Structure 1
Amino acid sequence: MAEVGDRLVMGSPRRHDRALRATVVAAASGGVAHRRDLRAAGLTRHDVATEVAAGRWLAVGRHTVATTTGDPSREALWWRAVWESGAGAVLDGVSALQAQGMTGFETAVIDVSMPSANRDHDVAGVRLHRRRVVGPVAGGGIPRAHPVQATIRAAQWATSDRQAALLLCLPVQQRLVRPDDLFAAWAAVGRSPRRALLHAVVRDVCDGAQSLGELDVGRLCRRRGIPPPSRQRLVRLPTGRVYLDVAWEDIGLVVEIDGGHHLLALNTVDDALRQNEVTMGSEWVLRIPVLGLRLAPDRFLDQLLRAWRLRAAEAGDGTAV
């Protein structure tokens, strides 16, 4: 049957039946459907052409049909990017992490990777990365790179050092990636943009204790003319014993260096309580995240130098620089 207006002529579903079938197909992909899936649902090329011509659906690519005429959802744009880029295409980098559930970072482009041997197609709003090997893919939902690989690539493709560090931190903080898995995957990476920085940040995020052990705060202080501090000073608080990373006991100045484990949300609460307990005494406490010493060392050391000078002056220390 063929259709004239809304009359059913043998072989073609009525308009409301077409809409129902298409809605079911598109529900799994944010309101868009692949033409092959529409065919599998019993909708012919003529059915699709009729709905598009009537303005009820939109053709938004060679393969992609929007079953509504409103603004597409982010999920719909992801599916369109994968379907239209070429065979074997998957979301990658930030886009793959967002599809995995990452929040706290937005981007204007969709990153897609695909095998370099396959034919690709330019798609508006899509940044295509041709790879000899795409690598492991996450299971379920939209095709996307595994979160560990996506995290490393997102950091490599970042537009700044600060952004790269953030994109290594967020997936770990939001428990999309296990630190041990990220550390192991990074160890297998060969050449990489910003390799020295990324290596340091991965260590900070995944192996904070080792990273802090390698970080020579005393050397940084000497470089700025600040006298050597005492280290790991034991402090007794109502909640028990804690260790403060760096202290100048004679003038009442303390600096805590927060390692990668402090990225976890609950630790920030404990850290704030701990710092407040100390600060309510006679000491000053400065907090420096270890990532701060990677990304903005001069600004943090400027703060430390100012604090040391003020405390030394209050204590009557004639050696203030």
Structure 2
Amino acid sequence: MLARTANVLPEGPHWRYEPKWDGYRAIVRREGEVRILSRSGRRLEAAFPDIAAAVGAALPPGTAVDGEIVRWSAEGRLDFSGLQRRGHSGPQAAQRLARTEPCHLIVFDLLRDGAAEFAARPLDERRARLEELMHSVGEPALMLGWQTGAVDVARQWFDQMWRVGVEGLVAKDGRGRYRPGRRDWLKYKRRVTTEAIVGGVIGGAGDPRELIVGRRDSQTGALRVVGRTGGLDPAHRREMARLLRPCGGEHPWPPTLPSRWGSSQDYARVVPEVVVEICPDSAQAAGRWRHAVGYVRPRTDLEPADVPTDLSIEG
């Protein structure tokens, strides 16, 4: 189940509020084996053996939960870069990092409990049973996500928890069913971010000074240029250089940039396979973001197919 952006935090007796954790979304199933699935369907248990072991030890067979895998830094902040390092580690490195850089699964929804399916039940009923289930869990890698029905408490979280990397709040109707793929939840963030696909750079794949980003056209499926970042700082240039590959064959974009994107000097096309999180403003023109979009970070947990189409900010 997904969330859509809200510009105003909803209020009312049926609304429930949770922190918006900055991590990897995961559906976790404890059946004959533990299966941890990313939003794109990628298996994650090999990359997070510590979480898989904790789920196997603490949750009864037949349990399915929704949650967020997070990594806390030594300073007590959410560490997305460290989480990505964990998420893309090989089997041997994953075992080592599980000991030196442990992660946690923050559980916030219950989909199945033994033979009982819970997705069609109201959120308040799912939450009550989840709290009972998590009450007896002694595994430190598994945590029950916070939830409140008090809007003043939620606003306090919003005002204070950004210091540790919490992105904002998710608001959910306590009467609502769990409907996979539906954007019935609301996300209320301190800043609006979204995702795009890197299709070109200013500089080169080995030293990108700026990124040219694209989105699929919702009508034709074609990858269109929709934005250009400002200049990347040295750390971000190195970060992206490790992920980008120069285009060695066919590419959906021409070898030169359209004139409206400014100078094409040093423009190079790259394989359009890397997803980045960006922070655009509201100014749009001719199906593109008119001003430079802010670069936030790579999203190696997402595939190009996960990126919204056109200029939608829903991710």
TM-score, normalised via structure 1 length: 0.27
Richer in strand (by share):
2
Greater relative contact order, per chain length (Cα 8 Å cut-off, separation 6+): 2
TM-score, normalised via structure 2 length: 0.27
User: Larger Cα Rg: Structure 1 or Structure 2?
Assistant: 1
